Amino acid sequence: MKLIFEKSHPGREGYSLPADGFEEIPLDRCIPEELRGKKRELVEVSEVEVVRHYTRLSKLNYGIEDGLYPLGSCTMKYNPKVGEYLAGLERFVHAHPFSPPELVQGTLELIYELGELLGRITGMEAYTLAPAAGAHGELAGVLIIRKYFEDRGEERTRMLVPDSAHGTNPASSAMAGYRVVELKSNDQGTIDLGELEKAMDSGTAGLMLTNPNTAGMFDPRIDRIAEIVHGRGGLLYYDGANLNATLGILRPGDCGFDVVHLNLHKTFGTPHGGGGPGAGPVGVKEFLRPYLPSPVVEFDGEKYRLRDPGEKSIGMIRSFVANFSVLVKAYAWILSLGPGGLREAAEAAVVNANYLLAKLKDYYRPSYGGFCAHECVLTGRDFKKHGIKTLDIAKRLMDYGYHPPTIYFPHFKPYAEETLMVEPPESEGREVIDDFIAAMIKIAAEAEKDPDLLLEAPGATPIRRTDDVLAVRRPVLHYDDELKLKEEG
Amino acid sequence: MRFIPNTAPIRREMLEAIGVSDFEELIAAIPGGVRFRGELEIPGPLSESELLERVSALASRNRDLAGFKPLVGAGAYRHFVSRVVSALLSREEFYTAYTPYQPELSQGTLQAVFEYQSFLARLTGMEVVIPSIYDGASAAAEAVLMALRLSKKNRVLVSAALHPHYRSTIETYTAPHRTELVEIPCSGGLTDRARLEEALGEETAAVVVQSPNFFGAVESVDELAAPARDHPALFIQAVAESLSLGLLRAPGEMGVDILAGEAQSLGMELNFGGPYNGYLGARKKYLRQLPGRIVGETEDRDGKRCFVMTARAREQDIRREKATSCICTNHGLHILASAIHLALLGTEGLYRTALVNTRAAHYLEEKLVGTGKFERVFDCPFFNEFTLRSLAPMDEVRKKLLDGGFIPPLGLGSYLGEEELAGTALFAVTEIFSRADLDRVTELLGK
């Protein structure tokens, strides 16, 4: 499809401004010439062309409302329309972050209340809603741990991270100044207690754990893990990426976790936006409350206001307060479900994933045996003999009208190879899952009999497979790069 | 529950197909001692109509903010955003999609990001643009971390006129690395060049200057970048009001090595401070040290032009603890918001909107000074924000404006806790103010 730049025509305009431009004020009196730049050449297109351009672009995308989007560990559930509406209420939308608090009591109350709700759902005692995304929450959470030990005068320089963790865990720990020690998973895909015993020492700050983990497994020894970490003076961090499986069933706060981050755009029904914005609230136990980032919302029984949490706070991690419009949607989602609905959501997600696992395990040998949580990790390792990789299976799924599952993650030997991590969230009904299962079984047969169908896939999408090597070797990162390339022939 | 299609009977059949008699069997691995047994103490379930009522009631505890035009900016600006932006953003193909890891199903998102990178490259004059970091403050902090990696030094000079949130975020991000942050004072509202030169030393990794700065003043960026370049230290410019780029010199032409910007002014509503969208600009040779995602052009198997996420060997999912940042989910949908906003404005619209902003701001500033109730604090050029000292108590100014339906300017004395700024206020004026609005402000405050 043409770029917007290729649709530009001199003199066309897509904007309108009030007639009064205060033109009597000479520009030189505002900004002296030496500080002014040349007019930036963008595009010249009319409003209707802009609308058509981006509408057509949208049709090249695949969204949750187009069909199953079973990306493992991403929890691509339905995003209720009512949330979008409520986040757009004018009194919310036009709230300036430096408004006097008496103008924005409703906004502050919603932030405060959501923190309370999340506390009850996860068993944590204090929340910050500042983090802009899951990884941002991780960074804040690990910085809280760091500051806590610093205050206690304890020199702990290492952080334990299982090999099954999301890449954000080691990356956040490193950003927070920790040396990352990777823990090898056992043959069940969970924490090897012996490894943990060895690694968890007085120089180690703690363990970052996702539970259920990315292999889709509940860690059966979570009680013992907490004992070991706390016994050596460490703190236990909960990565909430997979919280969806546990709503109303298991609360991280009850399992001994000291710091928790949540992904409102996964568990709590807010949209992923093609890459965000989401929100990554962080919950802590009472003893870590003073370390929360600034500002926090405070309620004195009458009025809400923003407050700096004081000396011990890790400081600000962003400008202003929070990703407010995302918070509105999560708040609406929680209240729509209520306590029973949250539990029903978790159970339905777990049943969906186990149903899919039961029906597909004979075709795509799973990484591990036993039941899974809200996602299952299948593999394409048995198709190697036909020259087929998991990537080919994923691309073929597109021809059947599906977004593929997460592939090649988790990725560690010897169990998690050629992985397909499938997560059918609670908003998917059985028929949808049955159709997906049928497509997967058909692809398994194609892989044996007619592997070219997979190797040539996808064919039914707006474009075919891309040359990612060319993109790196010949970086064209904006339109002027492309123009230059054309000039050079 | 209306978001969960599987009924109890369907669920029973599914459990049967799995080969278990009840749900509990599936989660038998969870130790009983840590299980949650009660009912969560949260309200609900609410019907959609009850929910609408409840959340609307919360919203109505805010004042009618659509009618309150803000005379405050300080990093968040109320500009006009066309309904076109919200209408297009509400297409499910855009807002419900995931990060575009599968390019065959994400060309819409990927091309829009490429177009945004193209707009921003022209707007900023920078060779490479990272289209989304969470916001301007975190972008500034990432820029500093990047400078530490590039220079392998650990001292950073920060202008006193940097937005305090940006400054605090930089402090938070650099705390684990024990980076020495040195404040360069201001003189007359602008970063003091002589003091900057004095402070530059062998150990200096980078210099951070915001322009227009927190007080609204436009810095002579090239004159501040020159001594940094000679040293050499990396020069980082922060931009909180990106509309100013429609009129001011491009950072890329002034010796800026890394640009950390906030794109809120380019198509995003206020939303009490977020979500907005940060961006980074840099020289191409620094690409490998940049954090965050970037989109590049390539070809598909049929030789057709298409777009993919590229230069991925910097990111957390591949590099884990060696990644340039932990950032994963960013503010992608707002990349699209800005792309649409900039496409609508186009070459002329962007320039003219920037012009109206600076002219309207100067109109009010002159009017307020003309009342005799306000004095200029600094004598320097400004874009759409300016600092004045009120001769009347700030509480009185605030009250008059609130009663008149305006959100008051930011009182710098109490906000920054600096005595010499007592009684000063940071005003912002954008294209949403008509001449009548500004005359009304003058009338309210001139009495």
**Residue A97 in domain:** yes
Calpha distance B315→A236 (Å, rounded): 25
**Cα dist from B429 to A435, B30, B82, B359, whole Å:** 56, 58, 19, 9
Q: Within this chain, do residues B145 and B222 fall inside the same structural domain, yes or no? A: yes
Q: What is the total count of domains within chain A?
A: 3
* Low-confidence winner among A58-62, A222-226, A258-262, A415-419 (lowest mean pLDDT): A415-419
What pLDDT sits at residue A411? 81
Residue A423 belongs to domain with CATH number = 3.90.1150.10
* Nearest residue in B to A99, CA atom: B407
DSSP A279-324: ---EEE-GGGGGGSPSPEEEE-SS-EEEE---TTS---SSSSS--H
**Residue B137 in domain:** yes
Residue range(s) defining the domain that contains residue A109 = 82-335
**Residue B294 in domain:** yes
* Nearest residue in A to B362, CA atom: A30
pLDDT at A415 over 80: no
What pLDDT sits at residue B79? 98
pLDDT in tens, A197-216: 999 999 999 999 999 998 88
pLDDT at B447 over 90: no
Tell me the average pLDDT across A297-310.
96
**Cα dist from B379 to B222, B375, B391, B392, whole Å:** 19, 11, 18, 21
Q: Within this chain, do residues B302 and B268 fall inside the same structural domain, yes or no? A: yes
Tell me the average pLDDT across B330-337.
98
Tracing tokens 């972050």 back to the chain, one arrives at: A97
What pLDDT sits at residue A460? 95
Candidates B42, B15, B2; CA nearest to A340 is B42
Residue B418 belongs to domain with CATH number = 3.90.1150.10
pLDDT in tens, A117-136: 999 999 999 999 999 999 99
pLDDT in tens, B244-255: 999 999 999 999
Question: How does residue B295 score in pLDDT terms, banded at 50, 70 and 90?
Answer: very high
pLDDT in tens, B248-288: 999 999 999 999 999 999 999 999 999 999 999 999 999 99
Across the interface, of B58, B105, B132, the residue whose CB is closest to A461 is B105
Final residue before a domain boundary, out of B306, B323, B341: B341
**Residue A154 in domain:** yes
What pLDDT sits at residue B414? 86
In A470-489, the residues whose Cβ lies within 8 Å of chain B are 470-472, 475-482
B291 preceded by cis ω (within 30°)? no
**Residue B287 in domain:** yes
**Residue B310 in domain:** yes
What pLDDT sits at residue B412? 95
Q: Within this chain, do residues A303 and A193 fall inside the same structural domain, yes or no? A: yes
Q: Within this chain, do residues A111 and A228 fall inside the same structural domain, yes or no? A: yes
Q: Within this chain, do residues A108 and A206 fall inside the same structural domain, yes or no? A: yes
**Residue B53 in domain:** no
Distance from CA of A461 to the nearest CA of B (A): 6
**Residue B10 in domain:** no
Q: Within this chain, do residues B423 and B383 fall inside the same structural domain, yes or no? A: yes
For residue A419, list its beta bridge partners.
Answer: A379
Q: Within this chain, do residues A93 and A237 fall inside the same structural domain, yes or no? A: yes
- What does residue B262 show for φ and ψ, rounded to 5 degrees? -115, 125
pLDDT in tens, B377-435: 999 999 999 999 999 999 999 999 999 999 999 999 888 888 889 999 999 999 999 99
Final residue before a domain boundary, out of B315, B341, B367: B341
Query: Reading across the β-sheet that carries A419-422, which strands appear in turn?
Result: A376-379, A419-422, A406-407
What pLDDT sits at residue A416? 81
pLDDT in tens, A236-272: 999 999 999 999 999 999 999 999 999 999 999 999 9
Tell me the average pLDDT across B180-193.
97
Chain B residues in contact with A350 by the CB 8 A cut-off are 23, 26-27
Question: How does residue A414 score in pLDDT terms, banded at 50, 70 and 90?
Answer: confident
Q: Within this chain, do residues B174 and B208 fall inside the same structural domain, yes or no? A: yes
pLDDT in tens, A50-93: 999 999 999 999 999 999 999 999 999 999 999 999 999 999 99
Tell me the average pLDDT across A324-337.
98
Which residue out of B51, B77, B104 would a mutagenesis test of the A interface target, given it has the greatest number of A Cβ atoms within 10 Å? B104
Question: How does residue A169 score in pLDDT terms, banded at 50, 70 and 90?
Answer: very high
Contacts of A99 (CB under 8 A, 6+ apart): B65, B68, B70, B72, B272, B407
Candidates A277, A61, A8, A477; CA nearest to B343 is A8
Calpha distance B13→B10 (Å, rounded): 5
Residue B245 belongs to domain with CATH number = 3.40.640.10
Average pLDDT of the residues of chain B: 97
What pLDDT sits at residue B219? 98
Calpha distance A214→A374 (Å, rounded): 10
Using a pLDDT cut of 70, give the percent of chain B over it: 100
Q: Within this chain, do residues B278 and B292 fall inside the same structural domain, yes or no? A: yes
Final residue before a domain boundary, out of B341, B364, B399: B341
Across the interface, of B173, B320, B346, the residue whose CB is closest to A171 is B320
Residue A323 belongs to domain with CATH number = 3.40.640.10
Tell me the average pLDDT across B224-229.
97
**Residue A307 in domain:** yes
What pLDDT sits at residue A412? 77
The model's pTM: 0.98
**Residue B37 in domain:** no
A25 touches chain B (CB under 8 A): yes
What pLDDT sits at residue B257? 98
Calpha distance B176→B300 (Å, rounded): 43
Q: What is the total count of domains within chain B?
A: 2
Calpha distance B182→B154 (Å, rounded): 11
DSSP B288-312: GG--S--EEEEEBTTS-EEEEE--G
For residue A241, list its beta bridge partners.
Answer: none
pLDDT at A413 over 80: no
Question: How does residue B38 score in pLDDT terms, banded at 50, 70 and 90?
Answer: very high
Q: Within this chain, do residues A240 and A349 fall inside the same structural domain, yes or no? A: no
For residue B128, list its beta bridge partners.
Answer: B282
Q: Within this chain, do residues B259 and B144 fall inside the same structural domain, yes or no? A: yes
Final residue before a domain boundary, out of A306, A335, A364: A335
Residue range(s) defining the domain that contains residue B234 = 83-341
In this complex, do A96 and B145 lie within 8 Å of one another by their Cβ atoms? Answer: no
Using a pLDDT cut of 90, give the percent of chain B over it: 97
Q: Within this chain, do residues A395 and A247 fall inside the same structural domain, yes or no? A: no
**Residue A487 in domain:** no
Calpha distance B253→B258 (Å, rounded): 12
Calpha distance A347→B311 (Å, rounded): 40
Calpha distance A79→A274 (Å, rounded): 13
Query: Reading across the β-sheet that carries B410-411, which strands appear in turn?
Result: B374-376, B385-390, B424-428, B410-411
Q: Within this chain, do residues B131 and B216 fall inside the same structural domain, yes or no? A: yes
* Nearest residue in A to B319, CA atom: A167
Q: Within this chain, do residues B195 and B336 fall inside the same structural domain, yes or no? A: yes
* Low-confidence winner among A336-350, A358-372, A401-415, B111-125 (lowest mean pLDDT): A401-415
Query: Reading across the β-sheet that carries A158-162, which strands appear in turn?
Result: A126-128, A282-284, A259-262, A235-240, A204-210, A158-162, A179-183
Contact, B197 vs B211, CB < 8 A?
Answer: no
Average pLDDT of the residues of chain A: 97
Calpha distance A463→A485 (Å, rounded): 22
Q: Within this chain, do residues B219 and B97 fall inside the same structural domain, yes or no? A: yes
pLDDT in tens, A352-396: 999 999 999 999 999 999 999 999 999 999 999 999 999 999 999
Q: Within this chain, do residues A37 and A86 fall inside the same structural domain, yes or no? A: no
Q: Within this chain, do residues B215 and B227 fall inside the same structural domain, yes or no? A: yes
Q: Within this chain, do residues A121 and A22 fall inside the same structural domain, yes or no? A: no
What pLDDT sits at residue A327? 98
Which residue out of A211, A351, A477, A480 would a mutagenesis test of the B interface target, given it has the greatest number of B Cβ atoms within 10 Å? A477
For residue A179, list its beta bridge partners.
Answer: A158
Q: Within this chain, do residues A226 and A325 fall inside the same structural domain, yes or no? A: yes
What pLDDT sits at residue A291? 98
Candidates A237, A223, A254, A99; CA nearest to A170 is A237
In this complex, do B34 and A143 lie within 8 Å of one another by their Cβ atoms? Answer: no
Handedness of CA B260, B265, B271, B277 (dihedral sign): negative
Q: Within this chain, do residues A240 and A105 fall inside the same structural domain, yes or no? A: yes
DSSP B129-188: EEEEESSHHHHHHHHHHHHHHHH---EEEEETTS-HHHHHHHHHHHGGGT-EEEEEPEET
In this complex, do B6 and A348 lie within 8 Å of one another by their Cβ atoms? Answer: yes
**Residue A111 in domain:** yes
Specify whether the backbone of B446 is left (phi greater than 0), alpha (psi in -120 to 50) or beta: alpha
Q: Within this chain, do residues A323 and A184 fall inside the same structural domain, yes or no? A: yes
Q: Within this chain, do residues A331 and A349 fall inside the same structural domain, yes or no? A: no
**Residue A147 in domain:** yes
pLDDT in tens, B142-158: 999 999 999 999 999 99
pLDDT at B130 over 90: yes
Calpha distance A51→B302 (Å, rounded): 28
**Residue A91 in domain:** yes
Q: Within this chain, do residues B202 and B129 fall inside the same structural domain, yes or no? A: yes
What pLDDT sits at residue B422? 93
**Cα dist from B215 to A9, B68, B219, B409, whole Å:** 39, 23, 11, 12
Q: Within this chain, do residues B196 and B305 fall inside the same structural domain, yes or no? A: yes
What pLDDT sits at residue B417? 86
What pLDDT sits at residue A189? 86
**Residue B198 in domain:** yes
Eight-state DSSP code of residue A433: H
